[in-house]
Amino acid sequence: MSAQNCFHCGLAIDENEEIHFDEKLFCCAGCKTVYEIFSSHDLTSYYDFQKSPGATPQDIKGKYDFLENEAILSKILEFQEGDTAIVSLNIPHIHCSSCIWILENLNRIQPGISISQVNFPEKKVRITYNSNIVSLKTIVYTLSSIGYEPYISLENYETGKSNIDRSLTYKLGVAFFCFGNIMLLSFPEYFEIKEFWLDNYKPFFRGLIFILALPSFLYSASGYYVSAYKSIKSGMLNIDIPIALGLIVMFIRSTYDIFMNYGSGFFDSLASLVFFMLLGKMFQIKTYSFLSFERDFKSYFPIAVTRINSDLSEESLPIYDVEKGNRLLIRNQELIPVDGILISESAEIDYSFVTGEAVPITKKSGDKIFAGGKQIGKIIEMEVLHSVSQSYLTQLWSNDIFQKNVDQKHKTITDAISRYFTPILLLIAFGGFGYWIFIDANTAFNVFTAVLIVACPCALALTAPFTFGNILRILGKQKLYLKNALVIEQLAKVNTIVFDKTGTITTNKKSNIAYEGKAISDEDFIFIKNTLRASNHPLSRMLYDFLPEEKKIKIDDFQEITGKGILASIGNKKIKIGSAKFVESAVTDALEIKRTSLHIEIDSLYYGKFVFENQYREGLEKLFATLNTDYQIKVLSGDNDGEKDHLEALLPKNIELIFNQKPEQKLDFIKKLQEKGQNVMMVGDGLNDAGALAQSNVGISISENVNVFSPACDVILDASQFSRLSYFLKLSRKAIFIIKMSFALSLLYNVIGLAFAVTGNLLPLVAAIIMPLSTITIVSFVTFMSNYFSNRKLNS
Amino acid sequence: MSVIYLLITVSIFVAIGFFIAFVIAVKSGQYDDDYTPSVRMLFDDETKFTSQNNESKTEEKQV
């Protein structure tokens, strides 16, 4: 065990703050408290499953007061009757088996809870409790006190019960059941030996097969008929038309054969077809249940805010009821839900959700503050200017792009092929029929149906699902999470890439801080570091963390002037740290104002400034240089052009840089590119990119922590993989290449099958061999190829 | 020879029995979360109990 890491949360321990308790080391009182709670309830096995699994509990005083409001409570609860209540809470910290264990033993810490069950992939815990003994607020506080603070947002307001669509699982189950049984019953027919007892039992076997085929034909395959009908109605020929046609013809012909005693029919092929196609559908769906691709502002915004009434009483108010003129109270780390005017003296607002900007902005009394910012520091008061739906940021969601049905946006490669496939197929079928009708009417009928049966594009329909499904999983392992398989096709078609600047090509994890000015002596350096230590201003904290560790000295006098800076002294030495206005001796020019900096003055002598610069992501230059050869690249930024020169030097010459873009302007920019016929991929991160992400053909959201937040998009990319973007794009192009190759292969099977069909030789046994054979070879071919391409690219 | 009617009927009914079991399993949500149960089943035996607190053993079983 390393002595330097906290027993509870695993963070490195600051030597001066370490706490010894029960022969263990802790980094802070918070972690120690959690340990105490666990040990007093005999729950220390928590630490056995995983080393240092915990999180430091945050201070949440007053944050969940709205849970006392009955109206809000009833919206959040999943079930409530009598004194039993059930609630599903989303807990982002769930990450290991220790988490599951402790959360499922909640009843030992908090009386009143009867059952708590964790759904690990969704990071949710479902708690059944007795509302007479314990309130939801108390449960939330208990959870927070052990480091598992639930995340309750406006999204929870509407949910209640969620309906999971399990119909595909049922359909697959039914199809498999029918397929298996029909196959068994068909075997005697395959070896059609003239034996007395076989002939005797034929009607029984065939009757059973017919009955077993019904559920598969009517229920499992029903999705194909609906889709085919819809596609005929909208005039677009998709792949489901030949499939549905093949299935129906197959069923009618087989029924006819059986009842007229002509033969055994094709029910075995029908059942296997339905089963394999549904299997392909299932394989294509790979859901990352812990991610959400549909998030809008609702998942960021709180469910309720605190309103200050005219008699100065405080009240929790559902967010939709906030009106213009209300006075709101915003606590530390709370989100500002509406546009308004700051009443308190000053505020530090972190807009990283919205813009990706890491450095908080200082606002003074009377300034306008926008929805989406997070207050850091003390409690502030504000007056509401617009209601939630009319605020600057949330207005974005009233744009048409968010109302559109996204499924209709694209035409898939399979549908493109089937536009030719269906007419040709019908032509061959009628051609065969026309030829044979003059020779033998009965054969003509057989040929016509056989063509439609054998050409049923089962292998064709399976190619794309299996290729995409496999690529989806490969990419998922490499931390690129796609919303669905269709996105891969879109990725392959992209020819223009638009990047957001702040938070996307820069990282908001750490700022790059540079010192400009006169050299500072070691003694003064210690002085600066210790002065910063006492300050709670976010910039001071960032600089403090950035500067190397120094020994601690006592500061005699310390004064923090809100919105300006710090004044401190040791002995007779005086120091001033703060904004350019505060440190009057600072030398600044026009360009300087656009940069975030802290100026230093010691004993009335100006030394210099610490400049907070954006830290660009690793591998950015190389990535842009690679992408530049194949794609048009543009950089959009909501910021001022303070970093223009720096960016121009860093990136290839022909890249367009556009600054001062509002969220709607970003959306319009993408739209204009699309009108010019470009396939645009937008790479962004914050809520201000949400419009552009939705408008673009492929919206990629970069996320430092995929479990936390990202606006609605098609793809979520883990920030650590940013530099591999060009590899992902290449792989998507390879996927399309693989599909085209296997299309050729499956068409070859169709030609062979058709040769049997048009000559009138398609026996049920031949069909039963060709169909599974083509399916299996296609599936193994695409799986092998996609693995091959992804591995080869990894090595090079 | 009529035993074949019986055998096949029985085999179909057995298959239907399994099919119903599958439907019930899906309906009860067993396929919604396929990870957590695999972890949960490993827990029971590993709970540590201090000597003075034996009643928690019974509590554990109720979970």
Residue A181 in contact with partner chain B when CB distance is under 8 A: yes
Distance between CA atoms of A467 and A610, rounded to whole angstroms? Answer: 52
**Worst-scoring range by mean pLDDT, A115-119, A382-386, A512-516, A712-716?**
A512-516
Burial of A56 (0-12, 13-18, 19+ CB in 10 A): middle
- Give the total number of structural domains in chain B: 1
A153-157: average pLDDT: 70
Q: For residue A104, give the nearest of B4, B5, B40 by CB distance.
A: B40
Tokens of A704: 């430092």
Cα–Cα nearest to A380, from A326, A312, A441, A332: A332
Sorted by sequence, the CB contacts under 8 Å of residue A319 that are 6+ apart come out as A154, A157, A301, A302, A303, A304, A305, A337, A388
| Residues of chain A neighbouring B27 (CB-CB closer than 8 A) | 166
Give yes or no: residues A633 and A717 share one domain: yes
Residues of A within 8 A of B56 (CB-CB) are 42, 108
Structure tokens at A141: 């506080």
Nearest CB to B46; choose among A45, A169, A208: A45
Q: Is the pLDDT of residue A260 over 70?
A: yes
Alpha helix positions (H), A413-547: 413-436, 441-454, 458-477, 486-493, 522-534, 538-546
Contacts of A495 (CB under 8 A, 6+ apart): A631, A632, A678, A679
**C-beta separation of A344 from A381 below 8 A:** yes
Q: Are A508 and A357 in contact (CB under 8 A)?
A: yes
pLDDT confidence of A477, banded at 50, 70, 90? confident
Contacts of A368 (CB under 8 A, 6+ apart): A339, A340, A341, A342, A385
Q: What angle do CA A491, A493, A496 make, to 5 degrees?
A: 85
- The pLDDT tens digits of the residues spanning A765-780 come to 777 777 778 888 888 8
Cα–Cα distances (Å) from A603 to A32, A583, A706, in that order, read 42, 12, 47
Domain boundary among A36, A56, A76: A56
Whether residues B39 and A42 touch (CB distance < 8 A) is answered with no
**End residue of a domain, out of A697, A713, A732:** A732
If you ran DSSP here, which 8-state letter would residue B58 be given?
H
Verify whether the Cβ–Cβ distance B36 to A164 is below 8 Å: no
Residue percentage of chain A with pLDDT more than 70: 89
The residue of B1, B5, B9, B19 whose CB has the most chain A CBs within 10 angstroms, and thus the best one to mutate to test that interface, is: B19
Q: Does the CA dihedral B58-B59-B60-B63 come out positive or negative?
A: positive
Question: Does residue A719 lie within any of the structural domains?
Answer: yes
Whether A636 shows a pLDDT value over 50: the answer reads yes
What is the model's pLDDT at position B58? 40
Count up the domains in chain A and report the number: 5
Would you call B26 and A208 a contact, using CB atoms and an 8 Å cutoff? Answer: no
- The answer to whether residue A461 is domain-embedded is yes
The answer to the question of residue B62 being in a domain is: no
Does A545 reside within a domain?
A: no
Q: Nearest-CA neighbor of A718 among A496, A507, A511, A512?
A: A507
A62 touches chain B (CB under 8 A): no
For residues A496 and A359, the model is more confident at: A496
Examine the domain organization and report whether A394 and A492 are in the same domain: no
Rg of chain A over all Cα atoms, to the nearest angstrom: 33
Mutate to test the interface with B, among A48, A101, A115 (most CBs of B within 10 A): A101
Contacts B39 to A, Cβ<8 Å = 97, 100, 120
Residue of B nearest to A125 (CA): B36
Q: How far is B44 from chain A (nearest CA, A)?
A: 10
Q: Tell me, yes or no, whether A281 and A327 share the same domain.
A: no
ipTM entry: 0.74
Span of A422-431, A501-510, B15-24 with lowest mean pLDDT: A501-510
- Say whether residue A169 is in contact with chain B using an 8 A CB cutoff: yes
Interchain contact B13–A (C-beta under 8 A): no
* A623 & A499 share domain: yes
Residue B44: its pLDDT value, please? Answer: 65
Residue B51 near chain A (CB below 8 Å): no
- Domain range holding A333? 297-398
Structural element, H or E, at residue A167: helix A167-190
- Domain assignment present for residue A567? The answer is no
Q: In the structure, what pLDDT confidence band is assigned to residue A287 with cuts at 50, 70 and 90?
A: low
Smallest Cα distance from A46 to chain B, Å: 9
A329 and A187 in a common domain: no
A173 with B42: Cβ contact below 8 A: no
Q: How far is A100 from chain B (nearest CA, A)?
A: 7
The single residue listed with the structure tokens 């904290």 is: A541
- Closest CB from B4, B33, B47 relative to A120: B33
Phi, psi of A70 (to 5 degrees): -60, -40
CA-CA distance, A608 to A596, in Å (whole number)?
Answer: 13
Please check whether residues A372 and A422 belong to one and the same domain. Answer: no
* Dihedral of alpha carbons A577, A581, A587, A593, sign: positive
* A454 and A356 fall within a common domain: no
pLDDT digits (tens, 9 = 90+) for A163-200: 667 888 899 999 999 999 998 888 877 776 667 767 77
Pairwise CA distance, residues A10 & A250, whole Å:
63
B53 in reach of chain A (CB within 8 A)? yes
Contact A341, A383 (CB under 8 A): yes
Q: Which residues contact B43 (CB under 8 A, 6 or more apart)?
A: A100, A101, A104
Instruction: Select from A126, A167, A177 the residue whose CB has the most chain B CBs within 10 Å, as the one to mutate to test that interface.
Output: A177
Q: Kindly report, residue by residue over A228-243, the tens digit of the pLDDT.
A: 898 888 877 777 888 8
Burial class (CB in 10 A: 0-12, 13-18, 19+), A576: buried
Q: Is A128 on the interface with B (CB under 8 A)?
A: no
A100, A484, A485, A641 from A706: Cα distances, Å: 20, 17, 19, 29
Cα A253 to Cα A251: distance, rounded to the nearest angstrom: 6
Q: What is the DSSP letter of A13?
A: P
Asked whether residue A557 is domain-assigned, the answer is no
Q: How far is A118 from chain B (nearest CA, A)?
A: 7
pLDDT at A579: 77
Nearest to A177 among B4, B19, B53 (CB): B19
Question: Are A271 and A211 contained in the same domain?
Answer: yes
Q: Shortest CA distance to A293 belongs to which of A698, A587, A741?
A: A698
3-state SS, A657-726, equals EECCCCHHHHHHHHHHHHHCCCCEEEEECCHHHHHHHHHCCEEEEEECCCCCCCCCCCEEEEHHHHHHHH
Q: Which pLDDT band holds residue A133 (cuts at 50, 70, 90)?
A: confident
Which range marks the domain in which residue B23 is found? 2-50
Name which of A42, A122, A174 is nearest B50 (Cβ-Cβ).
Answer: A42
Instruction: Say if B23 falls within a structural domain.
Output: yes
Chain A contact set for B19 (CB, 8 A): 173-174, 177
Q: Is the minimum CB–CB distance between B10 and chain A shorter than 8 Å?
A: no
Of the partner residues A42, A173, A180, the one whose CB lies closest to the CB of residue B23: A173
Closest-CA distance, B9 to chain A, in angstroms, reads 10
Strands A680-684 and A698-703: parallel
Mean pLDDT of chain A: 80
CA separation for the pair A444, A432 (Å, rounded): 7
User: Contacts of residue A209 in chain B, CB cutoff 8 Å?
Assistant: none
| Nearest-neighbour CA in chain B from A91: distance (Å) | 15
Q: Does the pLDDT of residue A272 top 80, yes or no? A: yes
CA-nearest residue to A113 within chain B is B63
B57 lies in some domain = no
- Residue keyed to tokens 């009377």: A366
Average pLDDT over residues A566-594: 73
Residue A237 lies in a domain: yes
pLDDT (tens digit per residue) in A50-108: 777 777 777 666 777 778 877 778 778 888 888 888 888 888 788 888 888 888 888 88
CB A700 within 8 A of CB A681: yes
Q: From the candidates B3, B9, B32, B62, which should be mutated to test the interface with A, based on the most A CB atoms within 10 A?
A: B32
CA distance A206 to A262: 12
Length of chain B equals: 63
Instruction: Indicate whether B46 belongs to any domain.
Output: yes
3-state secondary structure of A495: coil
